Amino acid sequence: MPAKAVYSETNRYQPALFWFGFAALVWITFLLYAGGFTTTIRAGMAFLDWPLSNGSINPDGWLEDRDMAAEHSHRLLGMVMGLLSIGLCVTSHMSKAALPVRKMGNWLVVVVVLQGLLGGLRVKLDALNLEIDHNLYAQSFAVAHATLAQLFLCLLVAFVVSNSRSWIERNAGFTKAPSSNLRTYGLVACGTIVMQLIVGAIMRHAHAGLAIPTFPLTPQDTLVPPVFNFAIGIHFAHRVGAVIVTIAILAYCFKIWRDPAARSGLAKSAAGLLALLIVQVLLGALVIWKVRNEHVTTLHMLNGAFTLALCWSMTYRSLKPNSNQAELSLRNSDKPEKSDTSSLGQTAKA
């Protein structure tokens, strides 16, 4: 039987698609800041309805009231992010981008719609609307909303990287494939950051940011609080998570610098990742020292998202050389089979 043909699709650099995706990345920065600021000042319920705000897309007086301005700006920015996601999906299909890129475009639309629904449920199921004596439902959806925002950011980063000239024409910046376990180090670092962001989201929505009001020690001059409740526990878990993230990132960067192939492609990014880590620790301390200043707190959240985005982009880029080698091996393994089939055909004719 003739060998099955290996499907291969030409992937050429398309500047318009890349810069469109990059513009979406810039836009999501404002969206993340708006969402974080809204949570910080506790303005998520400035409007009790959804998807409209007080029954309108342009509610009266929203620019004069800080809570209304924060929440409605967040909604408008999110709406535009949805339109950008649809645009990226349509553009990737119309430009006949590589199959993985088109699939990521599809998922951008799915995730952004789900993200909007989670935000809406956070409002609809709030205690103010349900008239109940707890707010567990709304807080749960708020944490899910915050977490999915970080995953959407990672998906968008992968989309942009996959459309970059470096990825398509320069093997993602690698001269040869790095060690096989580099990916594991990167995925572990990304995983610890995601878990830390989830714990941080729970802490923020539980209003436990100052449950331990001093840093680095507790008010009793101990590292571990002498007494625990939920607020203190989740706050302390966030501090422990920061240590774990630091270890994971340091191990990942050390692995990069020890591997010549990885160092050639990721050394500058690793330096940037360490810089973001230092800034993140400083911002976390300032949240306590400045008694949860709204802008410092929001920047702490945003820098955490930047740290995840950079760490994920590094991990994703490190997959490129190995994927190229796998594709080449698959093509080479197909050649002898075709040759054998041809030889058998000639023998039969003889």
pLDDT-derived band at 176 (thresholds 50, 70, 90) equals confident
pLDDT given for residue 339 in this prediction? 44
User: Do both 89 and 179 map to the same domain?
Assistant: no
Q: Considering the domain boundaries, does residue 293 fall inside one?
A: yes
Q: Considering the domain boundaries, does residue 194 fall inside one?
A: yes
Whether pTM exceeds 0.85 = yes
CB of 127 closer than 8 Å to CB of 133 = yes
CB of 54 closer than 8 Å to CB of 60 = yes
Number of folded domains that form the chain:
2
User: Do both 217 and 324 map to the same domain?
Assistant: yes
Q: Considering the domain boundaries, does residue 148 fall inside one?
A: yes
pLDDT given for residue 274 in this prediction? 98
pLDDT-derived band at 320 (thresholds 50, 70, 90) equals confident
User: Do both 110 and 213 map to the same domain?
Assistant: no
Percent of the chain with pLDDT over 90: 83
- C-alpha distances in angstroms, 303 versus 207, 300, 306, 307? 20, 5, 5, 6
Cα 346 off chain centre by? 56
Q: Considering the domain boundaries, does residue 239 fall inside one?
A: yes
Q: Considering the domain boundaries, does residue 83 fall inside one?
A: yes
Domain extent, residue 227, equals 170-338
**Residue 12 above 50 pLDDT?**
yes
User: Do both 208 and 294 map to the same domain?
Assistant: yes
User: Do both 280 and 155 map to the same domain?
Assistant: no
Q: Considering the domain boundaries, does residue 63 fall inside one?
A: yes
User: Do both 162 and 202 map to the same domain?
Assistant: no
pLDDT tens digits, residue range 67-107? 999 999 999 999 999 999 999 999 999 999 999 999 999 99
Both tokens of residue 52? 């409209």
**Residue 341 above 60 pLDDT?**
no
Q: Considering the domain boundaries, does residue 350 fall inside one?
A: no
Q: Considering the domain boundaries, does residue 347 fall inside one?
A: no
User: Do both 327 and 197 map to the same domain?
Assistant: yes
